Structures are given as structure tokens and as C-alpha cells.
Amino acid sequence: MRRKLITGNWKMNGGLASNAALLSAVKSELGQPSCQVAVCAPAPYLAQCQQLLSGTQVAWGAQDVSAHDAGAYTGEVSAAMVKDFDCAYVIVGHSERRAYHGESDETVGRKAARAIAAGLIPIACVGETLAEREAGQTEQVVQRQLDAVLAQLAGNDLAKLVVAYEPVWAIGTGKTATPQMAQDVHAFLRGRIAARDAQAASGIQILYGGSMKPDNAAELLAMSDIDGGLIGGAALKATDFLAIVRAAA
């Protein structure tokens, strides 16, 4: 049985003092969670996460990584650099990176491959816009995005991947896919992975990343192919984040 994973994506939020307060509250109330728990912080705060979370039940990770190993890429952060801070995870292909920074499906695939090569677990994001959903293109879009990642991974690396389905129309809007809508897409994604490697597909965690909150988490997480959440705004409040973690029990 796949273990649930609840990952907070802080996006471009936080500061040394507020991060310390948030993580202190999470650690003090977390107890022994039945699910895996992680936070993905802005790159300047990875050292702080390493300092405050080492030896705890909370893993940490980055929000992006370069598609290059090293070189003249000013402002980029390589997978090896992220790994230097003992990160477990890195988000790749978030819809905000695709929309605001022009990241292509191929670039996202390369980033996932670089992450795995460095010993990180990439959380590869896929998802459709409202216009694409209304046009009946959801499966076509997420298949294209997922296939671009799978194409970059060697067979043995597939099991090291986490996928996050984040319908773009439900991110930060307060709108949420119904549990069945989300389940349908998660099942489709698992089927695409199974076409490549059935054994890997049965173990890969597929997270939901569209406005999961304490009041809808349990219903979403009860779906058979929803293996956790990639949490945005709710991850910035310890009480909300912990409520979602408990809902994953």
C-alpha cells in the first residue's frame, strides 16, 4: 500500500523569523504522523530548513532546479547544490514556472532527470487550464506533460518519481476539483505510467495540488489513486497544514 505524502509548497513566501515560527509549530504538534511530511521552501531558506528539520519527521526540498548540471547559467541552482542541503525533494514543472517562465514540457523532463541523478525525488507537476478542461482536453494535456517527463527517465529511475496533478484553474483560486474529478485524472496518470512499467506505477505517489484545505482534504485523500497533497496557501499556517496531515491518516 502506498504511503500518503503531504508536501507544503511555500512558493515565494517566508522569512527567517516566520519560517522558524512555522516550523516550530509544525514540529511541536506533529507527533508521529502516519504519512510522509515535507516542506518545499525558497532556495535561500534551505539551509534553515536543514538546521531546523534534521532528525525530525519532516523532510524538506526545493521549489525548482536547473536543467543543467553546472556552468554559465547565472541565477540557476543545480540539483547537486540543492542536494548539498540534504533536501529530499524538488518540485519541477509547477504551473507557475510553466506560465511565468516559459518552461516547456521537455525542460521539465530534463529537470526531473537531473534531480534523480543527484539523488533527489522530483515532484513533477502536470495539469490543465480552465480553457483546456472546458474543451475536453484534460487527458490530452496531462498525457503530453507526463510523457515528456517519462521520456527523460531510465527504467530504473521511474520508481523515484512523484507526480502531482494540479489543475491550473484550481490553484490559488479557491476552486477545487471534486474528489471524483481528481480521482479520474489520477487514475488516468497511473495508467499512463503503467503502460511503461506496471510495477513502478503501483508504487508511484500521485499527489493532488489544487486548493487542498482542511475542509476538503479527507474526502480527496480517500480516493484510491490520490496519494497525498501538494499544499500551497494552507502550508503557510501550521494549524491548517497539520489538519491536512491528520486527514491523510
Q: Is 132 a catalytic residue?
A: no
Which of the following is catalytic: 94, 96, 103, 128? 94
Q: Which residues contact 17 (CB under 8 A, 6 or more apart)?
A: none
Instruction: Write the single-letter amino acid at 75.
Output: G
Q: Is 94 a catalytic residue?
A: yes
> String of b and e for 169-187 (b: at least 16 CB within 10 Å)?
bbbeeeebbebebbbbbbe
| The residue to which cell 525548482 is assigned | 64
Which of the following is catalytic: 96, 103, 128, 166? 166
Contact criterion met (CB below 8 Å) for 249 and 229: no
**Which grid coordinates are listed for 112?**
526531473
Nearest one of 62, 71, 66 to 44, comparing CA atoms: 62
38 φ/ψ angles, rounded to the nearest 5 degrees: -150, 160
Q: Which residues contact 1 (CB under 8 A, 6 or more apart)?
A: none
Residues with catalytic roles: 94, 166
